Chain A
Amino acid sequence: SQQGEEDPQALSIQEGENATMNCSYKTSINNLQWYRQNSGRGLVHLILIRSNEREKHSGRLRVTLDTSKKSSSLLITASRAADTASYFCATAQGAQKLVFGQGTRLTINP
């Protein structure tokens, strides 16, 4: 079974708006990562946040982590058409295992 559950399953916004995606997980983690997948392609790593961190930034990306609620959010600011993709959270269980959620399908309308 999947560890992470993304919410919403699909999101459609206008170019320039901010997009927020959420991820909930069930067990304790070492870190949480976000990946992007363009249609027909492999996944690409975006950002990693460790279990002792609460917030992290990378360019237009902002990730938060609340371990007490077992949840994370990914914010993409000033969205662009090129941000259209599926976004997955992944939790690192133990020292090795990376388990992915079902993903959020993001569509940016020009």
Chain B
Amino acid sequence: DARVTQTPRHKVTEMGQEVTMRCQPILGHNTVFWYRQTMMQGLELLAYFRNRAPLDDSGMPKDRFSAEMPDATLATLKIQPSEPRDSAVYFCASGLVQFTGELFFGEGSRLTVL
């Protein structure tokens, strides 16, 4: 059963610490998206990749966030240093570049920054 896998599922950290979230997209998918979900802002698109190349990261605070795809089976989202306002659920989703289709979401990484 193909699925997007995200780790960790839950993370509690202190302000100023580095946080790395990982995502394993579905094998064969060539687009990867990072979204952040909060009660106030809803689902915000942070960044997305096509064939491992970043296409748009305009939704991401550049000074502290970075997103990469070291290889086709791994996407990472890093926050350094973390701040309390970064507390949210971070979702990774993957899909196919012929973009008339659906996105497949992981279960999310719930981040709490104290």
> Of B11-19, B61-69, B97-105, which binds chain A?
B97-105
Chain A 47-91 interface mask (CB, 8 Å, partner B; 1/0): 010100000000000000000000000000000000000001010
Chain B 1-17 interface mask (CB, 8 Å, partner A; 1/0): 00010000000000000
Q: B31–A96 contact, CB under 8 A?
A: yes
Q: B42–A102 contact, CB under 8 A?
A: yes
Cα of A95 to Cα of B55 in the assembled complex, Å: 11
Cα of A100 to Cα of B46 in the assembled complex, Å: 12
Chain B residue nearest in CB terms to A98: B103
Q: B105–A43 contact, CB under 8 A?
A: yes
Interface residues on A, range: 20 to 34
Cα of A97 to Cα of B55 in the assembled complex, Å: 9
Cα of A99 to Cα of B46 in the assembled complex, Å: 11
- A103 contacts across to B, CB distance below 8 A: 42-43
- B101 contacts across to A, CB distance below 8 A: 48
Cα of A50 to Cα of B101 in the assembled complex, Å: 10
Given A96-B50, A96-B55, A102-B42: A45 touches B100 (CB 8 Å cut-off): no
User: Does A42 make an interface contact (CB < 8 A)?
Assistant: yes
Cα of A90 to Cα of B102 in the assembled complex, Å: 10
Given A96-B48, A100-B43: A42 touches B106 (CB 8 Å cut-off): yes
Given A42-B107, A43-B105: A96 touches B99 (CB 8 Å cut-off): yes
Cα of A21 to Cα of B98 in the assembled complex, Å: 28
